[in-house]
Amino acid sequence: MAARPDYIVDIKGLGHPTAQGQKNNGLRGRPWLAVQWKCCSVYSRIYRNKAGTLYEGRCPKCARPVSAQVGPGGTSNRFFEAE
Ligand SMILES: [Zn+2]
């Protein structure tokens, strides 16, 4: 009995971060949009930024940046055309 601690050490820094809102770490499982790049007639994906406010990406050929807003007033389209 004497050797038994009366508290529990809860190491929160190890393993998974807090469960909520941390599901989309990294590119895997992260929301994306399909983009048709009219500038170069190519097709690629752009991914949502860390803040979750925009989809951002660059043309794979000419590196032209594009962003698409997320949420109300933004697009719900999964397919996006960049001029
Ligand atoms: Zn381009």
Predicted local confidence at residue 39, as pLDDT: 95
Q: What distance in angstroms lies between residue 82's CA and the mean position of ligand 1's atoms?
A: 9
Distance CA 77, CA 35 (A): 11
Q: Where are the domains positioned within the chain?
A: 32-82
Q: What distance in angstroms lies between residue 73's CA and the mean position of ligand 1's atoms?
A: 26
Q: What distance in angstroms lies between residue 63's CA and the mean position of ligand 1's atoms?
A: 6
The β-bridge partners of 32 are 47
Q: What distance in angstroms lies between residue 79's CA and the mean position of ligand 1's atoms?
A: 17
Q: What angle do CA 29, 65, 31 make, to 5 degrees?
A: 15
Predicted local confidence at residue 22, as pLDDT: 47
For the chain, percent helix, then strand, then coil, each to nearest 5?
Answer: 0, 35, 65
Spell out the per-residue pLDDT of the chain, length 83, in tens.
556 656 655 545 544 444 444 444 555 678 888 999 999 999 999 998 988 888 899 999 999 999 888 777 766 667 778 87
Q: What distance in angstroms lies between residue 55's CA and the mean position of ligand 1's atoms?
A: 17
At 65, the amino acid letter reads P
Q: Torsion over CA of 5, 11, 15 and 17, rounded to 10 degrees?
A: 140
What is residue 23's three-state secondary structure?
Answer: coil
